[in-house]
Structure 1
Amino acid sequence: MIGGYLKNERYEETIELYREMRSNGVEVDGRTCTFALKACTKLLDFESGREIMRTAEENGVVNNCFFGSSTISFLVKFDRIDEARIIFDELLDRDVVCWNSMSGGYVQVGSFDMAFDLFFEMQACGIRPSLVTIAGLIQACIGIGSLRHGKCIHGLLNGFGMSCDILVVTSLIDMYGKLGDIESASQLFNEMPTKNLVSWNTMISGYVQNGLVSEAFSLFRELILSARVFDSGTMASLLQGCAQLSSLDNGKVLHGSVLRRGLESNIIITTALVDLYAKSGALKLASSVFDAMKEKNVISWTAMLMGLVQNGHADEAFPIFSQMQEERVDANAVTFVSLIHACAYTGSLKKGQSIHAYLTRQQFVLDEILRTALIDMYGKCGIKTADKLLSLDAMNHGIYVVLSNIYAEGGRWSEVDYIRDLMRKRGLRKTPGYSMIEVANIVHTFMAGDDSHPYWDEISSMVEDLRKQIEDSGYVPDTRCVLRNVDEKMKVRLLWGHSERLAIAFGLISTPSGSLIRITKNLRVCSDCHTVTKYISNIVRREIIVRDVNRFHHFVDGKCSCGDYW
């Protein structure tokens, strides 16, 4: 009976029946305790779970492998990973489910190295991994961002007889997509003998994550033509793709499909619509969808708030945040970054300081993005003293770079020298910028002013040719992007040596006319390179995608999908 309640997701009745058994003196065994503990895990009832664990110990069932596995899962749910490991180590009989529970726990809390160590220990003990084991390891590969580890796990599948399992293959497609190897993901997908909707959605999502939005829509059309249905997951990925391109027309078509299929109450879909319309500059449509939402979460509120800031309505972001607080929705890091940007754009130093103070009181973790936003806000609001900004994080090299840039933009070169000298004394180095382009399965990396490439003569000639054509089209260099104390002529020369321009030039001489050029940059694209790339896309009649540290930039016919905001 207690197992029936659990199977039918009647968790409260499961625990009530367990307690009734105990009060009537009925002896409980390992299975009974396992069912009751699983119900506590589902209900997030820690105290009741502890009570069941004590009863299990009194009745001598703690070494039961089924109960042990459930105990590990229960403790992991409450971030008691060290306690879970003690239980695991004390188990006399550990089957693959126990190993999976412990390994999955490590993955859940982000201890990915421990998950791999446990897998090796599992192999040494002669335990054959299951599909769940492999799926967990694949998630660990994603967690540590290691394509090499992922390929090693992929290589093990044949030996375990799992290379055709739809769950494992779909997990691999997800891994390759998230780790940037979209070619391997596509090959796996195309070779699958059987596909389900999760497989299709994973591949579509992978294309979108890697900026291949047209490929995502092509696959969607293939999905429809194969007489298969799609769901909210499909729509969410395609809407994200439209947001990347600021493709308002395609987004409206998808919105129509959402309404016809009755998906307008799905919070993931409606949030994606708000994000799409905001990034496409259709703020009224974004507000309309947002206001009609019956349920909103932190991502929904943040999407609307970001949209206001991005579209030049930063002053309206503050009332939205007040409403969010009234609804008792906790803000996340992205929310605060958007609010801090709003303070910067409106010159609201007091509000910015208030947000900073709130983050400090709440002991909010200030990651590099938040700290950089705060520095930018203080700088734009007139606070440009080194002591104030360095107090945010004296050992964060990014703060020194931003502060140096603030001084350089104001022509305060003595302060620039001071900050750079301070970095050297503290052993900090600026992350060097570079751009990458893949041609014929070979990745070419360019640094600013780098003339070491074997095709340098051809690249240099193409850069010069582009410069002349762009200047004839009315381009005027923005030398404010060169934060060095040199004359204007040298600043222009340095601009034309920026890594993304070299990578684009190489792409133009190395790929077929009219084909897509895809560049990846490890830092933010400077405003002058952004302008130049718009000119280039119009002159050479090519689509150019540049992925920088902030977002994808899709340049087509002299325009960028970001609407010149990034």
Structure 2
Amino acid sequence: MRVKWSGCIGRRLRELARHGKSQDVVRLLRACLNLSSSTRNGESIHASVVKQGFLAFTSVANSMMDFYAKSGDLGSALLVFNYCIPNKDSVSWNVIIHAHLHRSVASPRGLCFFNQAWAASGFQPNISTLVLVIQTYRYLRAFEAGRTVHASTIRAGCSTVTSLQNSLLSFYAEFQMQLAHNLFDEMTDRDVISWTVMVAAYAQTHEETLVALELFRRMVDSGIKSDGQSVVSVLKACSKSKAVRMGESIHGFVISRALGYDVFVPNSLIDLYSKCNHMDSSLRVFREIPEKNVVSWNTFLSGLVQNEMHSEALTLFDSMRKAGVESDEVTLVNLLQLCKSFLDPDQSKLIHSRILRRGFELNQLVTNSLIDAYASCNLITHAWNQFSNLKTRDAVTWSTMIAGFTHCGMPDEAIAVFREMSHTTELPNAVTMLNLLEACSLSADMKRSRCAHGIAIRRGLASDVVVGTAILDMYSKCGSIGSSRKVFDLIPHKNVVTWSAIIAAYGMNGFPNEALALLAEMKACGLRPNQVTALSLLSACSHGGLVEEGISLFEELIWDHEVEPCLEHYSCLIDLLARAGKVDSAMNLIRKLHDGLKPGASAWGALLSACRNYENYEFGASALPQVLELEPSGSAGYLLASNMYASGHSWVDATKMRMLAKEGSVKVIAGYSLVYANGKACKFLAGDKHHSLSDELQFTIQQLHSYMKMDVAC
């Protein structure tokens, strides 16, 4: 067929050379676009029209330029535009503008041509050109320029064209939803694209997802035939607002309208059900997809990982491999998340080798996830090697490395990474600041903490409720409750997390009564305590020895159904009773727990510690097996039991505990203190008599130790 067309054009070229007309040239150029050898034939026609003098006709030159533009030869199109069209008309300008903007939505040259044409008298842009110009201004976030074009379309009388209005809806939705809504209300002819643009725009904002759902309902009621894109947009709104019942209704709508043929719709349903913790429904949708793509597998895999169904996620990945579906970067990121959950360093290395085989080692998302997985598995050297080998690092990469060092108990290295980041063009965001603040909290150094606070202020992040809460927590861990309170008072919009943090700060620093008083202030502000708030209050009572207040608080918050009790609350109450010497009451509370709640190692450990302090060996013998069963590799249980037996002079049992720990290769972690000297953190381990500090400082410490012994003797 193409050979036939080529021969036909050859004959027409010969006829054109003898007595062709301008209309024939235009038709021939259009025909050439259907041929694989379109460029060669177009050049032949170009040569012929030059010989015959047809290029003097503006219509022919415009067609020639349009031919080159649609063939991808923008350079030749520009040559025709600049040198072959002396009298450019609106078609000439529209063709060259469209050619540039269609090729690149952010083309500055295309906008330059548009502005030149707009300044010329008589220029009438077509709808296609205006749509592309508005899309370009949206991409460049040029709000005022876009509004100017809108005003010009109103003056030109073409602002009511639906395709143009839809582009303006998308433009305004990027900046001010109210303007988009005003335009939407003014539209007389709304098609499915108009409604979809509005639903998608509102679905992007968590606070406006209910508006998106209402708009979709109105769209259906108005008789507009929904398509897959509109359904995907409203399902996204349901996912964000966790509106699973609405999602189920839309699922029924999809089935009734036979919209499930578009694989993006069931993929969105899987995402919705997964985020609403309805994994059975998610599995059902997944199984019903006739032709699953890699997005279908990845979406369901992500849902299993998010819902901590790790074994099922591994099984799914195995099925994915057997089905012959190639894993992409999203698959690998999910697998790395599994490695973090299992804390499996070997699996992290295997995934790393898969990344190298698949050629994803330069993918920023994959590399950041790999650094995070290695750090979470305490392979900080591997994480650092990956970080060091990167040529380009974004804010996520820097933040992940800072978080990795902090997780591995290396705050000095984390802070050093942040300092290195400050010498680059990459600016720290809120997540970077949170990781830096966590590192400063771990180091417990006030000088560093103040510097981090100053950086947050300069970056304009200190007033953010999340960052402000982290600063508050950082100061409390440095022992500066006064600074914590000042930061708390400066946070403009406090939430329940902020109140819980300041309550925990007072409790941690030995002010339990002040912590309890804050509960009344919190309730006066109209906020209800949550589980973390209750835990912070009970912990404050436990460490402050406020037994009666703690029991009363527990009854107030738990029995009055203000907070749903969980194991941590009961463990904290057991710890409160045990610390106060009420071992019988603590044991009775453990026995009264219903079957769904089994005391953890912390509760039994608190009871065992109390038995040692108050020489209650009978209950201690009951608590010991529970601690060793729940934490067989932890040293605390063995040491507590050994000390308890030693205080009762049961030396054989005390020795037996030490031997059991040794036979089980249980690593005893010694307590330590941090002292900053010459800008460096120096760690003092319990029982360590040799340190790298100077002899003078060693002598000073020994003197202080002697004075302390003298005070005790007195």
* TM-score, with length taken from structure 1: 0.76
Q: Deviations over 1:408-440 (max 9, x none)?
A: 456544434433454455555421469xxxxxx
What corresponds to 1:458 in structure 2?
Answer: none
Instruction: Provide the aligned length of Structure 1 versus Structure 2.
Output: 488
In the superposition, relative to structure 1, how do residues 273 and 530 fare at CA in structure 2: closer, same or farther (>3 Å)?
farther
What corresponds to 2:104 in structure 1?
Answer: 9
Q: Distance in 1 between matches of 2:101 and 2:595?
A: 62
**Which one-letter code corresponds to 2:150 in the other structure?**
M
What corresponds to 1:128 in structure 2?
Answer: 225
What corresponds to 1:391 in structure 2?
Answer: 489
What corresponds to 2:657 in structure 1?
Answer: none
Q: Distance in 2 between matches of 1:57 and 1:484?
A: 78
Is 1:203 the counterpart of 2:296? The answer is no
SS in structure 1 of the partner of residue 151 of structure 2? helix
SS in structure 1 of the partner of residue 481 of structure 2? coil
In the superposition, relative to structure 1, how do residues 365 and 198 fare at CA in structure 2: closer, same or farther (>3 Å)?
farther
What corresponds to 2:186 in structure 1?
Answer: 90
Q: For structure 1, which segment, 6-15 or 198-207, has the greater mean C-alpha deviation from structure 2 after superposition?
A: 6-15
1:395-474 to structure 2, matched below 5 A, reads: 396-409=495-508, 412-423=511-522, 428-432=527-531
Conserved? CA contact 1:538–1:558, under 8 Å = no
**Which one-letter code corresponds to 1:503 in the other structure?**
G
What corresponds to 1:489 in structure 2?
Answer: 583
How far the C-alpha of 1:103 sits from its partner, in A, is: 1.8
Q: Distance in 1 between matches of 2:605 and 2:217?
A: 48
What corresponds to 2:359 in structure 1?
Answer: 262
What corresponds to 1:240 in structure 2?
Answer: 337
**Which one-letter code corresponds to 1:415 in the other structure?**
E
Conserved? CA contact 2:463–2:491, under 8 Å = no
Q: Distance in 2 between matches of 1:366 and 1:533?
A: 44
Q: Distance in 1 between matches of 2:267 and 2:489?
A: 47
Q: Deviations over 1:420-473 (max 9, x none)?
A: 454455555421469xxxxxxxxxxxxx89899xxxxxxxxxx9xxx9xxxxxx
Q: Distance in 1 between matches of 2:216 and 2:530?
A: 35
What corresponds to 2:448 in structure 1?
Answer: 351
Conserved? CA contact 2:117–2:123, under 8 Å = yes
Q: For structure 1, which segment, 1-10 or 233-242, has the greater mean C-alpha deviation from structure 2 after superposition?
A: 1-10
Q: Distance in 1 between matches of 2:605 and 2:333?
A: 29
What corresponds to 2:84 in structure 1?
Answer: none
Is 1:106 the counterpart of 2:202? The answer is yes
Q: Deviations over 1:375-430 (max 9, x none)?
A: 32222212124843642449544444444444445654443443345445555542
Q: Deviations over 1:313-350 (max 9, x none)?
A: 11111221122222222323222222112112112223
SS in structure 2 of the partner of residue 391 of structure 1? helix
RMSD: 3.8
What corresponds to 1:151 in structure 2?
Answer: 248
Structure 1 runs not aligned, ≥5 long? 435-447, 453-462, 468-476, 507-524, 540-556, 560-566
**Which one-letter code corresponds to 1:136 in the other structure?**
S
1:506-521 to structure 2, matched below 5 A, reads: none
In the superposition, relative to structure 1, how do residues 62 and 484 fare at CA in structure 2: closer, same or farther (>3 Å)?
farther
How far the C-alpha of 1:309 sits from its partner, in A, is: 0.6
How far the C-alpha of 1:172 sits from its partner, in A, is: 0.7
In the superposition, relative to structure 1, how do residues 533 and 127 fare at CA in structure 2: closer, same or farther (>3 Å)?
farther
Is 1:503 the counterpart of 2:619? The answer is no
Q: Distance in 2 between matches of 1:369 and 1:47?
A: 33
What corresponds to 1:563 in structure 2?
Answer: none
What corresponds to 2:266 in structure 1?
Answer: 169
Is 1:142 the counterpart of 2:236? The answer is no
Larger radius of gyration: 2
What corresponds to 1:312 in structure 2?
Answer: 409
Is 1:220 the counterpart of 2:317? The answer is yes
Q: Distance in 1 between matches of 2:238 and 2:592?
A: 33
Higher relative contact order (CA 8 A, sep 6+): 1
**Which one-letter code corresponds to 1:348 in the other structure?**
D
How far the C-alpha of 1:73 sits from its partner, in A, is: 0.8
How far the C-alpha of 1:280 sits from its partner, in A, is: 0.3
How far the C-alpha of 1:483 sits from its partner, in A, is: 9.4
What corresponds to 1:33 in structure 2?
Answer: 130
Structure 2 runs not aligned, ≥5 long? 1-94, 534-553, 561-566, 607-625, 634-663, 667-714
In the superposition, relative to structure 1, how do residues 332 and 417 fare at CA in structure 2: closer, same or farther (>3 Å)?
same
Conserved? CA contact 2:376–2:404, under 8 Å = yes
Is 1:333 the counterpart of 2:430? The answer is yes
Q: Distance in 1 between matches of 2:290 and 2:572?
A: 54
Q: Distance in 2 between matches of 1:536 and 1:410?
A: 30
Conserved? CA contact 1:537–1:558, under 8 Å = no
Give the percent of matched residue pairs that are identical in Structure 1 and Structure 2.
27
**Which one-letter code corresponds to 2:179 in the other structure?**
E
Pick the aligned partner of 2:347 from 232, 236, 250.
Answer: 250
SS in structure 1 of the partner of residue 461 of structure 2? coil
Q: Distance in 1 between matches of 2:580 and 2:326?
A: 61
Q: For structure 1, which segment, 530-539 or 301-310, has the greater mean C-alpha deviation from structure 2 after superposition?
A: 530-539
Q: Distance in 2 between matches of 1:433 and 1:498?
A: 23
Q: Distance in 2 between matches of 1:332 and 1:431?
A: 28
Q: For structure 1, which segment, 292-301 or 281-290, has the greater mean C-alpha deviation from structure 2 after superposition?
A: 292-301
Q: Distance in 1 between matches of 2:592 and 2:520?
A: 24
SS in structure 2 of the partner of residue 320 of structure 1? helix
Conserved? CA contact 1:176–1:184, under 8 Å = yes
Conserved? CA contact 2:239–2:272, under 8 Å = yes
In the superposition, relative to structure 1, how do residues 32 and 389 fare at CA in structure 2: closer, same or farther (>3 Å)?
closer
What corresponds to 1:297 in structure 2?
Answer: 394
In the superposition, relative to structure 1, how do residues 318 and 230 fare at CA in structure 2: closer, same or farther (>3 Å)?
same
Q: Distance in 2 between matches of 1:526 and 1:389?
A: 35
How far the C-alpha of 1:490 sits from its partner, in A, is: 6.6
Q: Which has the higher helix share?
A: 2
How far the C-alpha of 1:104 sits from its partner, in A, is: 1.6
